[in-house]
Amino acid sequence: MTEGDPRKVILTFAAPVFLSQLFQQLYNTADAWIVSRYLGDSAFAAVSSSGSLIFLMISFFVGASMGAGVVISRYFGAGDPDRVSRAVHTNVVLSFLCGLFMTVFGVIMTPTLLRWIHVDEAILPLSTVYFRYYFSGALAMIMYNSLKGIMNAVGDSRRPLYFLIFSSLLNIFLDWLFVGAMGLGIEWAAIATAMSQGASALLCLRQLTRKGTVYRLSFRKLKISGDILKEILRYGLPTAVQNSVIAFANLLVQSNVNTFGEVGMASWGAYSKIEGFAFLPITSFSMALSTFIGQNLGAGEHERAKRGARFGLITSLLLAELIGLLIYLFAEPLIRFFLSGEESVRWGIEHCRTVSLFFFLLAYSNCIAGVLRGAGKAFVSMIVMLAIWCVLRIVYITVAMQFRHDIVLLYWAYPITWAISSAIYLVYYHVSDWLHSFEKKPV
């Protein structure tokens, strides 16, 4: 990523990431559709009721692995194969330990956590079964994200795409087989997800253990290097904390959504599946910018990093807003794809048309965060997100729900906080000296 036209390099990296995220979203959507069509709206509400709970449980570890990606991309850009290798092996061991912890904790604590966020008693048994089986696959999920992150950090976004396409198709087939053809229960949708994530993790592992690369994974070298771990935590911990606290804030939002019963839970879940498509260019360019900025600043290419950041930001904003406009225009058929109850459909349409035109703000905040993460300024992003996407969002919701128990007020919590964080990032991006965050040769 330190040579060639920055625009072409970023697009070449972002395109496979975009496609991989697209397949991820498509199979999540197919998963939800199969559950809804074969098991009904109640099962769909059970699966959708705690998406924020899942994000809370895994976001910390995903954030930490992003820190590993920054370290690997910097040393790869600076031409330091020894530190690249040690960072790879440290990250794999750390991810494995985190995955084991997440599996045990999630399976044991699922009933308590679901009650804590006020899941409706009518669907609590279904939710408990689904999420217990879902968390049984947490190790595979975390390992896949970790191994994929290593490959992305060295500029390889193509092979993770192939692996994800395979696992997406496998998940859809298994969902149809278990739930549709065999008529099994909701837990088999979670088992299908765990099996497909495990398959993609094994494919990534097979690729990384091949000979001939500086980032080759060797089981004999698996150990935690103390100095590398400190760097991973330095860059990853702010993102991990940021992700977790934002997820916690979203969990409180979900807790308020759950007070509107099955209708509110189902409509919110349907909207969330649709909104996932707006995140595709945002995630793609945020990841591409982190790797691009990390490698180029590691190589001392400051102006190149700045040009790439500008291009990535503009492109991401335009794509996100285009998707938002399409969601606004086609809200009704999109919601009806998941739901059949008229009241749930009406609430879902209103949600789409309240939020979707503000996706450019979401794109700006996330992509600036990606730029700062690549520049070693993850702490700044953490502070902004904690203050706005967590504290302010919670304060707004608490006050608004006291004023009037109306789900529309929950919809507005997101555009308002996206706008404020974007304004802060805009000022910081143009005023601060983020380009000179670290020396050409990392130490």
Instruction: Compute the distance between CA of residue 423 and CA of residue 390 in angstroms, rounded to an integer.
Output: 16
404/63: higher pLDDT: 404
Percent of the chain with pLDDT over 70: 93
**Predicted pLDDT at 350:** 95
The stretch 279-295 carries a mean pLDDT of 82
**pLDDT tens digits along 322-334:** 999 999 999 999 9
Q: Where are the domains of the chain?
A: 6-436
| 3 state SS of 60 | helix
At position 49, the amino acid (one-letter code) is: S
pLDDT band for position 248 (50/70/90)?
Answer: confident
User: Among residues 148, 182, 211, 186, which one has the least CA distance to residue 32?
Assistant: 186
Integer-rounded Cα Rg, in Å, for the chain is 21
State the alpha helices, DSSP H only, in 299-376.
302-329, 331-336, 342-355, 359-374
**pLDDT tens digits along 157-206:** 778 778 888 888 898 899 889 988 888 888 888 888 889 888 988 998 88
Instruction: Compute the distance between CA of residue 63 and CA of residue 241 in angstroms, rounded to an integer.
Output: 8
User: Among residues 98, 95, 104, which one has the least CA distance to residue 204?
Assistant: 95
**pLDDT tens digits along 86-136:** 888 888 898 899 889 888 988 888 888 788 777 777 777 888 888 888 888
Q: Are 329 and 306 in contact (CB under 8 A)?
A: no
pLDDT band for position 9 (50/70/90)?
Answer: confident
Q: Which residues contact residue 245 at a Cβ distance below 8 angstroms, ignoring those fewer than 6 apart?
A: 385, 386, 390
Tokens of 180: 């549709």
Q: Which residues contact residue 251 at a Cβ distance below 8 angstroms, ignoring those fewer than 6 apart?
A: 52, 53, 56, 117
Q: Are 102 and 58 in contact (CB under 8 A)?
A: yes
pLDDT band for position 443 (50/70/90)?
Answer: very low
**Predicted pLDDT at 27:** 67
**Predicted pLDDT at 308:** 86
**pLDDT tens digits along 154-167:** 777 778 778 888 88
58/443: higher pLDDT: 58
